[in-house]
Amino acid sequence: MSTELTEAGRAALTSAGWDVADRHAKKTYKFRDFVEAFGWMTSVAIVAEKLNHHPEWFNVYRTVDVTLTTHDTGGLSDLDLRLAERMDELVDAKRSQGNR
């Protein structure tokens, strides 16, 4: 069960570069190429499945546009924050490995 995202949670998303609106948060990720973008999406898919919370996303070549929302709460929830944090961690891990 998810809970509605607090103001502190919204602030955390915003400070991490997410565009936060009333009912959703959006972010665009850019990668070196399609394979790197798809690999990241695959890593995120595993996390999303474990959380039972799935992003809305759109991929063209090296760009992945992500929208997070929780339909059960009618807006953003703690699950959105957790998934966003994991997405950013996975991107940071790629950068620290020099794959970016």
Q: Where are the domains of the chain?
A: 7-96
What is the pairing mode between strands 25-30 and 19-20?
antiparallel
pLDDT score of 2: 81
Q: What's the average model confidence in pLDDT over 64-75?
A: 92
Band of pLDDT at residue 72, cut at 50, 70 and 90: confident
Q: What's the average model confidence in pLDDT over 75-88?
A: 94
Band of pLDDT at residue 97, cut at 50, 70 and 90: low
Query: 7-96 belongs to which homologous superfamily?
Result: Transcriptional coactivator/pterin dehydratase (3.30.1360.20)
Give the H or E element holding residue 42: helix 34-51
Band of pLDDT at residue 95, cut at 50, 70 and 90: low
- List, in order, residues 6 or more apart from 54 with CB less than 8 Å away: 48
Closest CA to 12 of 91, 93, 83: 83
pLDDT digits (tens, 9 = 90+) for 30-65: 999 999 999 999 999 999 999 999 999 999 999 999
pLDDT score of 25: 96
CA distances from 33 to 30, 45, 85, 88 (A): 8, 18, 22, 18
- List, in order, residues 6 or more apart from 100 with CB less than 8 Å away: 31, 32, 36, 94
Which residue carries 């966003």 as its tokens?
84
